[in-house]
Amino acid sequence: MASLNTVRNQRVYVNTSARSWTCQHSIDPVIKTFHRSLPGYAPTPLTSLKSIAEQLGVKHVLMKDESHRFDLKAFKILGASWGAYRALAQRLGLPLTVSIRELGLAARIADIKLFAATDGNHGRAVARMAKYLDLEAHIVVPSIMDKVSQERIASEGALIEVVEGDYDLAVKIADQEAAVSGGLLIQDTAWPGYDEIPRWIVDGYSTMLQEIDKQVLEIAGKPADLVVFPVGVGSLAQAVITHYKNPALLTALLAVEADTAACLLASLENGAMTSVSTGDTIMCGLNCGTISSIAWPMLRDGIDATATVTDVEAHHAVCHLQSLGSSVGPCGAAPLAALEN
Q: Catalytic: which of 64, 73, 76, 245?
A: 76
184 forms beta bridges with: 114
| Residue partners of 310: CB distance under 8 A and separation at least 6 | 9, 259
Q: What does 37-77 look like in DSSP terms, one character per residue?
A: TSTT--PPPEEE-HHHHHHHT-S--EEE-GGGSTTTTSTHH
Residue 292 exposure: Cα atoms within 13 Å on the Cβ side: 26
Task: Please tell me whether residue 92 adopts helix, strand or coil conformation.
Answer: helix
Is 70:38 a contact under the CB 8 Å cutoff?
yes
Active-site annotation holds for 76: yes
The span from the first CA to the last CA of the chain, in angstroms, equals 24
Distance CA(135)–CA(92), nearest Å, equals 14
175 is catalytic: no
Pairwise CA distance, residues 336 & 61, whole Å: 10
Q: How many CB atoms lie within 10 A of CB 241?
A: 28
Q: How many beta carbons lie within 10 A of that of residue 65, not counting itself?
A: 17
Rounded Cα gap, residues 253 and 250, in angstroms? 9
Amino acid at 271: G
Catalytic residue (choose from 32, 119, 175, 245): 119
* Residue 231, CA atoms < 13 Å, CB-side half-sphere: 38
CA 127/CA 200 separation, integer angstroms: 17
C-alpha dihedral, 254 to 260 to 263 to 268, nearest 10°: 60
Give the residue numbers annotated as catalytic, written as ranges: 76, 119
